[in-house]
Structure 1
């Protein structure tokens, strides 16, 4: 029923599962988080991880690690529209199975719960932390109740000084697999340090909550945040949404010194819908992993779209404020100190300057609040790791647009007797939700499952091919245990 021929614009190479797409034009973008291999003074070359790797859970990565810049490079590619039937389109992106089952291991994830909803700037415990924007208004004297901050000249120093206590530097480590061209040798791996930025946006009775990019914390171990006074504290990922590149990180209030509490503040999220072309802005971030720095510029374009790592982001701000490696997750601020954007990417082509991109906060406010209000789960022990029993491939936003598929994880095979088989999941079904958490990639599914024990029952939403269309279905799955 399904044709195994491949379209000219999409090819797969054997069991590696690597994909390539021909294109007339390409523009290269990179996330503005930093990644540096260990002992970075010893080597002066780039290392490429561009394969399906079973030790990383069998998902595809396309990450260039460079110990001279620490930047991550991604390609944007334009594709033609294909109007072929669903059967042929399904087989066209079929890749060989490399993983039977998704099992636990990785960074913290969370799920929704009903009680104790958190407002991004709500101080609902007895720990008092000031809010940034009120400090800017009283400091700069440029804003009042009857006028707009955009009508006056921005006081960059006032905005920066008031906002800095709400910024944190994020650091962690990730394991990078070597390849045949690496000096580390084929099949070997090494530790790389990562850096990014976080914004303090709220707290509960027990946790301080930080906003950042999903790509800053995905696959990162030993995550720490450093506050304005230089104190570092362990933190965990409360929730993450890769296709929006948004994550919320939690820090236990009990782990923060009282002297640090007295020096930090909570950033206030502004209304990015009110932003105007040419408006002055300030960007703050952990550039090059060397601590917070400040740049300024203007909103140079609005409602822009870019594709990074096969995910398309729409409705973005473009700014000429300098954004560098390590700035990912940092704040783009207006004249009254409110966060109007989350900095996350820049154009990396030679000869191109002043083209950095921010996610408007109004586009993701509901998501941020949802992530903040999730229950914080802890990683389960290996002996309790859950097992679904599938192998799958990512239906990225590019593939989704090209083949008109739902975006998610397409099942390529189901293990006999597995939880997936018992629940009725089958080949070509596309998983889009796991226990009410949106799923857009195999790595996202793996990251989520790391915090679920074998024997737990979850609801999985998926699209099932029926005739010439996909139909959304839902099924309860009791997770198995890997033998």
Structure 2
């Protein structure tokens, strides 16, 4: 065989095609039907299993919802009217006064025992908050420091016990521990704090707490401090003198003092109970209700050694916001109320007289300055501090409001409107 013939045969062999097997249409249709049937069967089974397992899956992976904390607000007590008549016009029969009886030592012992029974029940909502911080000294040695303050259980949102305490003691801490009435200790985290009052709310996860602890603790009842009056007996719980688990009794000496903070003025409760600058805790009445939160920084020079508290009715809205992890709205002024008497005597408009605007605050940024008298907040009339506070608290940081003021000039008072973007108090 010649070389050319040999190459030609090799070429034919290489280029030869293999003929495909003819398609069996009947088998193809059967396979397609079988595939579709299998897919449908799988889908039916999947749906059936989904229906069966859905309740279990939902219970297993369900996201736990946080319940909002709601604290009913109090109204200031109206002044008593000595001329008020009995409803229906019926006159009451005169009541014979009991003859005075001299108290003996046994009577005093009974009274104090009853008071301490109330305090003992109230201890179930009191806790000790310990903040631990690690640091390094000059010789590169690690050391730990700690501070303690009292706290009050103010709520349960379904996931955490919420505790009201002092911000200064826990800020920057590496670890926060809470000791409950049964001496059980749990770790807590900061929820939110208020730069104005220095109050903070911390949370203790319920899931990690022992059943006996949960059965023992109580949530404090926040009473109506507006109804408290001078001379009423009260007790101070927590750390009035700076050391925990203390109980002191005494009387309210004044409910008329106030403290001016940014955007809000708070009523104070002064007592004759011995205290210290490091004191913390709560004031309760004889019903075991919290009527004050100890705030020694608001004490005057003459009252440094006695317990001073923020009126709880004044801060219920604040406690509610902190417990719900909400920002505190910020306007940025300090002011005093221009009453009718002042308005007539000084010949100035009624409203809130601005005594101070905080640096870089929303109020200052918008142009409001000291000496202005706020008369309207977002088209609502303002004639008192309470009006202003009630208007402001309804808004959230970031909202824009129109604030009208009366400003004194060469031609007397003139109304000026400012657009203010509310901020968040940090």
Deviation, structure 1 residue 171: 1.4
C-alpha contact 1:319 1:354 (8 A) present in aligned 2? no
The SS at the match of 1:211 is strand
**Residue 226 of structure 2 corresponds to residue 273 of structure 1:** yes
**Residue 252 of structure 2 corresponds to residue 293 of structure 1:** no
Deviation, structure 1 residue 194: 2.2
CA distance in 2, matches of 1:295, 1:258: 30
Deviation, structure 1 residue 254: 1.1
Alignment match, 2:309: 358
Greater helix percent: which structure? 2
Alignment match, 1:222: 175
C-alpha contact 1:272 1:341 (8 A) present in aligned 2? yes
The structure 1 residue matched to 2:123, chosen from 156, 164, 173, is: 164
The structure 1 residue matched to 2:257, chosen from 276, 289, 304, is: 304
Alpha-carbon spacing, 1:325–1:184, altered in 2? closer, same or farther (3 Å): farther
The structure 1 residue matched to 2:268, chosen from 316, 320, 328, is: 316
The SS at the match of 1:363 is helix
The SS at the match of 1:235 is strand
The structure 1 residue matched to 2:324, chosen from 373, 376, 379, is: 373
Alpha-carbon spacing, 1:473–1:206, altered in 2? closer, same or farther (3 Å): same
Deviation, structure 1 residue 282: 0.5
Alpha-carbon spacing, 1:360–1:162, altered in 2? closer, same or farther (3 Å): same
Alpha-carbon spacing, 1:462–1:224, altered in 2? closer, same or farther (3 Å): farther
CA distance in 2, matches of 1:396, 1:174: 35
Alignment match, 2:206: 253
Alignment match, 2:190: 237
Unaligned runs of 5+ in 1: 1-113, 122-151, 178-182, 377-393, 412-426, 431-457, 477-483
Number of residue-to-residue matches in the alignment: 263
**Residue 67 of structure 2 corresponds to residue 116 of structure 1:** yes
CA distance in 1, matches of 2:300, 2:404: 43
The SS at the match of 1:364 is helix
CA distance in 2, matches of 1:316, 1:222: 32
CA distance in 2, matches of 1:351, 1:366: 30
Alignment match, 1:15: none
Alpha-carbon spacing, 1:206–1:175, altered in 2? closer, same or farther (3 Å): same
Deviation, structure 1 residue 173: 3.7
Alpha-carbon spacing, 1:203–1:156, altered in 2? closer, same or farther (3 Å): same
The SS at the match of 1:321 is strand
Deviations 1:167-203 (A, max 9, x none): 00111146899xxxxx979xxx986422211111220
The structure 1 residue matched to 2:165, chosen from 207, 212, 237, is: 212
Greater strand percent: which structure? 1
Alpha-carbon spacing, 1:296–1:261, altered in 2? closer, same or farther (3 Å): same
Larger Rg: 2
